[in-house]
Structure 1
Amino acid sequence: MAAVFPANQVIVVGGGLAGMSAANTVVELGGRTVLLDKSSFCGGNSTKATSGINGAGTKTQKTKSIPDNAEIFIADTLKGGAKKPELAKVLCANSAADVDWLVDKFDLDLSLVARLGGHSQPRTHRGKERFPGMTITYALIQMLEKVAEKTNRARIITKAEVYKLLQNGKSVVGCEYKKAGKVVKEFGPMVLASGGFGADFGSDSLLATYRPDLLHLPTTNGEHCTGDAIKMGEAIGATTIDLEWVQVHPTGLVKPDDPDAKVKFLAAEALRGVGGIVLDANGDRFCNELGRRDYVTGEMWKNKPPFRLCLNKAAADEIIWHAKHYTGRGVMKFYPSGEDLAKDMGVPLQKLVDAHQKHFEAAKKQARRAAMNPRHPRHPRHPEP
């Protein structure tokens, strides 16, 4: 027999940052919510985010005199290949308020700001320790857990596999899920925030339907990312758009003892943002590491694997928590010297010296251009458009 709960609530499916943001916002505005997640714990892919969260015109940027705003962010997004200006505007125009909300509401440290791939300004925010995705998402989880413990305004239900949307006519009025062998119905407005389908490699998967050319690649998505909510929407006649736009991230970390694993560790873009360089099997640097992801990925297709992401001491010290974590997980290796790295790669040491020197000279040249040209996006007095 199915259990039935009252409808004076908002139902959120998915316990990552999007779902937790929605649920916390409902509570903040005086409502009630139930959050459902099929995994045994909340967090989702959001906890894997290792570089930070983007915001243009944030309080943190202003304290650092970074001349950024929503218009510059929108321009960068459209230049990066976004096809729908109206969606880019929503994403970018709300970004400052969203980052400030995280800092103010959840007492988060997002005081470090870096310029990463595709951005003309430093706008990727993170804290001084740990992975920012984990820190941010857990803060929201803990806030909602406190509400659930002390009041009846929030419930968090894990191991809850939502498999059906309930309708009254053409309107969605709730959902049905399975937990511990029981069927449960929840009624209320629905927020679907259960992520994408990058880890669904089946022959009938959304990935096979829309991007079969990518089925052979591994993923950095969690194994839970199988497009359940999209399929539920399609089952009741919902229209989908843009499902063919699957991003291939250029840097995943390979475990030496399991090189063919379909799920990889994500190599944070921040590793490149602090000065890490990507080398091919010959020890050659072949791309701008801070270019758009599709560009970096495209250049990797043209060159010879295996590829190595190399950080010198200065770069590693700037992101030392990440480096120690990756090293501890066996997906990053410390070399006492460049000579040791060259020997392991089977290339002349001078190859690595030349690659690092050219990178260093290019960085100095860019810094000089920024200092001399007030209209350069890295100049401290760069005028707003």
Structure 2
Amino acid sequence: MSSKYLVNFDSAELPQEEAEYLIIGGGIAGLFTAWAAAQAGARVTLVTKRSIAESNTDRAQGGIAAALGQHDSPELHLQDTLIAGAGLCDHDAVRTLVTEGPERVKELIDMGASFDRTGNQLCFTREGCHSQDRILHAQGDATGAEILRTLSQKVVAIPNVDVVENMYVIDLLVKNNTCYGALGMDQVTGKLKIFRGRIVVLATGGSGRLYNYTTNPEVATADGIALAYRAGAEVMDMEFIQFHPTSLVLPGAPRFLISEAVRGEGALLRNARGERFMPQYHGMAELAPRDIVSRAILSEMAKTGADSVFLDVTHIAPDKIRERFPTITTTCSKYGLDITKELIPVAPAAHYMMGGVKTDLWGETSISRLFSCGEASCLAVHGANRLASNSLLDGLVFGGRIVQRAAYVLENTQRDKPHFHCESLQPTPNIDYEFLRRKLQHIMGEKVGPLRTALRLAEALAFFERWAFLKNHEAKETFQMEVHNMLEVGELITEAAMMRTESRGGHFRLDYPETSERWRKHVILRH
């Protein structure tokens, strides 16, 4: 069996830091959990891979969904989420999300988060698959950045929270199915350190960087899912990857997200011939579920031989576009595109992972004292396809619930400090890790992307099999560790996709294009 660690180490020889809560990850889920734990009087250590400003939260443009509007209700939000989830949502999880979500958003507002308003009234917009205008936004299209600013300022100022930046968490420290902390590496000095926590929370975010085209930041390399899986935690729904339909396709530009809220404000999708095409594919046209819009775009690209389709906002008042979407307008302008006059070239890119570390309604994993929340976790609240703008809400609601549950755990656990070590790993092989990473991203994009077949998945699995020997070799640097984690999680995604012989939500099989009632169940994998 392959090692459960990436490096050889001995905990007795390393410096140690202790806290009641060890929170791994500095996006909305990790920050809100840290804030809630600190409000309960706990000592918290929050470690982030890079700076606290680098996370998917910062890039969330569209907004945060909450039933706060005059004509809205949690019940309507629940129904929209269940429809988008394509039959795989956990009903209790969704009800928890939509009923507790409004209060969590009010807490954000009380902390100082400044959402857009008309007078004293909050502004709401609509995105795909929502039946009501319920998306709150900030500074037009900078919602995530505003939430991150609010939470990080609050958390950093709390005396009983120690924020440790540029600390790469290598592996969890688990013995007898109980988590006691984690092994980290300081990315500045390269030195190892033990972090012990009576409660350990994985809030490490997504996995978009497994793909060659993604809207995710560099840090989104699926680390949390990989180290939880190595430690023996169950992972679930790994086959369900959401590809955002509209990422910018311009020479020299990154795959910048063009928010779904642009379509919510009336933007139209046109193919390379200038024809509007979404009404042919779904009754909700441009506001259909993301998986349907992504496949429609790929179909039109194949028909026309083009590498993109186009998002058209030229019929909307230029002042409204500039006011509502300042970040998108400015970014496109930087690359010579005036979106008030010109069409925006777009194509699908890996965006969000519905699967992750399996948890219950309180964030507990299959390992005692290990919790998870946000995109790294999976309690089937998003089902097979996440409803737009539910992800930020997910991090708030279930991060807060972890703290409620952890109070009981803290009262009933000992302050044990077991010894951990690993000396079985072979030396780091002399291979080109940068080339391997690019090859992995290409394989995932080509073989495990929005359109899958048994042949493509088998070719991807053969690639992972060729590199399986690395699991018995030590990784020296964090870049190498990321590649190990990407290989681990890429294989899990591929295995689950091969097992699910149907199409549902973010998983589409060209060889099994229908949805099967027999597959109205979850794929759970464990080391």
CA distance in 1 between counterparts of 2:61 and 2:336 reads 15
CA distance in 2, matches of 1:89, 1:75: 9
- Pairwise mapping of residues 213-232 of structure 1 onto structure 2 (< 5 A)? 218-232=213-227
Residue matched to 1:358: none
Equivalents in 1 of 2:106, 2:55: separation in Å?
22
Residue of 275, 300, 303 corresponding to 2:300: 303
**TM-superposed deviation, 1:129:** 4.7
1:143 and 2:154 aligned: yes
Q: Are the counterparts in 2 of residues 68 and 121 from structure 1 also a CA contact under 8 Å?
A: yes
Query: Contact 2:23–2:201 (CA<8 Å) still a contact in 1?
Result: yes
Aligned partners of 1:43 and 1:138 also within 8 Å: no
Q: 1:178 aligns with which of 182, 185, 198?
A: 185
Larger relative contact order, structure 1 or 2 (CA cutoff 8 Å, min sep 6): 2
Over the residues paired in the alignment, what is the CA RMSD in angstroms?
2.2
CA contact (8 A) 1:255 1:331 kept: no
Letter in 1 for 2:295: G
Q: CA deviation at 1:38?
A: 1.0
Partner of 2:17: 5
User: Which region of structure 1 is more displaced relative to structure 2, 67-76 or 123-132?
Assistant: 123-132
Runs of 4+ in 1 over 4 A off after TM superposition: none
Describe the SS at the equivalent of 1:27: helix
Q: Is the 8 A contact 1:82 1:88 kept in 2?
A: no
Structure 2 residue 74 is the aligned partner of structure 1 residue 70: yes
Unaligned runs of 5+ in 1: 202-216, 346-385
Q: d(CA) in 1 for partners of 2:37 and 2:179?
A: 19
**Shift in CA distance, 230/94, structure 1 to aligned 2, threshold 3 Å:** same
Distance 1:127 1:249, change over 3 A: same
Question: Counterpart of 1:121 in 2: which secondary structure?
Answer: coil
Query: Which residue number in structure 2 is paired with residue 233 of structure 1?
Result: 228
| CA deviations over 1:308-364 (Å, ceiling 9, x no partner) | 11113425145142343223432743465xxxx59x99xxxxxxxxxxxxxxxxxxx
Distance 1:294 1:331, change over 3 A: farther
Work out the number of aligned pairs and report it. Answer: 309
Q: Residue 289 of structure 1 aligns with which residue?
A: 286
- The SS at the match of 1:175 is strand
Within 5 Å, which residues of 2 pair with 1:1-385?
1-7=13-19, 9-56=20-67, 58=68, 61=69, 65=70, 67-80=71-84, 81-84=86-89, 85-110=91-116, 111-129=122-140, 131-147=142-158, 151=159, 153-179=160-186, 180-188=189-197, 189-201=199-211, 218-257=213-252, 264-287=255-278, 288-304=285-301, 305=306, 306-312=308-314, 313-314=316-317, 315-330=320-335, 332-334=337-339, 336=341, 341=342
2:113, 2:147 within 8 Å by CA — same for their partners in 1? no
Q: Identity across aligned pairs (percent)?
A: 28
Structure 1 stretch 301-310 or stretch 284-293: which is displaced more? 301-310
- Give the conservation status (yes or no) of the 8 Å contact 2:37–2:44: yes
Gaps of 5+ in 2: 1-12, 117-121, 279-284, 346-527
Would you say the 8 A contact 1:11–1:187 is kept in 2? yes
The answer to whether the 8 A contact 1:254-1:331 is kept is no
Q: How far 1:235 sits from its partner (Å)?
A: 1.2
Cα pair distance change 1:79/1:130, threshold 3 Å: closer
| Counterpart residue identity of residue 89, structure 1 | R
SS of match in other structure, 2:241 = coil
Contact 1:316 1:323 in 2 (8 A): no
- Name the SS of the counterpart of 1:237 in structure 2: coil
Q: Retained in 2: the 8 A contact 1:11–1:35?
A: yes
Q: 2:63 touches 2:141 (CA, 8 Å); kept in 1? A: no
Q: Following the alignment from structure 2 to structure 1, what is the Cα–Cα distance between the partners of residues 52 and 323? A: 31
> What's the CA shift for 1:169?
2.6
Asked if 1 retains the 8 angstrom alpha-carbon contact of 2:182 and 2:196, the reply is yes
TM-superposed deviation, 1:186: 1.2
